[in-house]
Amino acid sequence: MHASQTQIDAFHGLSSIEISDTQRRIVDLFRGDRAVTLTRDELAVAAGLGVPTICGRVNELVKAGVLAVRGTAKRPGRRCAQQLIGLPVSVN
């Protein structure tokens, strides 16, 4: 599913909070598509940022309701799962 520019612009206008350039860079990785979920490791690679930076900014965005934890994914070679992060979805 591809989002139109109007949908993307509407998404960016959803939040009344001010977000930093780094936070905007992270949110933009989802391209307005609520079907996309990424781990913090995947976000770090895609954004070209360190995992500690991604973790801090993602936690802030989740707390603000801009992003949401949408599930978990098994980490290859590890016992623990990693959270899947995505745009919030409304439940009606």
Per-residue pLDDT for 9 more than 80? no
Burial status of residue 86 (CB atoms within 10 A of its CB: 0-12, 13-18, 19 or more): middle
Is the confidence at residue 14, as pLDDT, over 80? no
Mean local confidence (pLDDT), 19-41: 95
Distance CA 46, CA 89 (A): 22
Residue whose pair of structure tokens reads 């979805």 in the numeric block:
89
Distance CA 91, CA 89 (A): 6
pLDDT at site 75: 76
**Mean of the per-residue pLDDT values of the chain:** 86
- Sequence-distant (6+) residues with CB within 8 A of 46 are 29, 38
d(CA 30, CA 11): 11
Task: Enumerate the H helices of 1-92 as residue ranges.
Answer: 5-12, 21-28, 40-47, 51-63
pLDDT in tens, 53-81: 999 999 999 999 999 999 999 877 778 88
Mind listing the domains of the chain with CATH numbers? 5-86 (1.10.10.10)
Map residue 52 onto helix, strand or coil.
Answer: helix
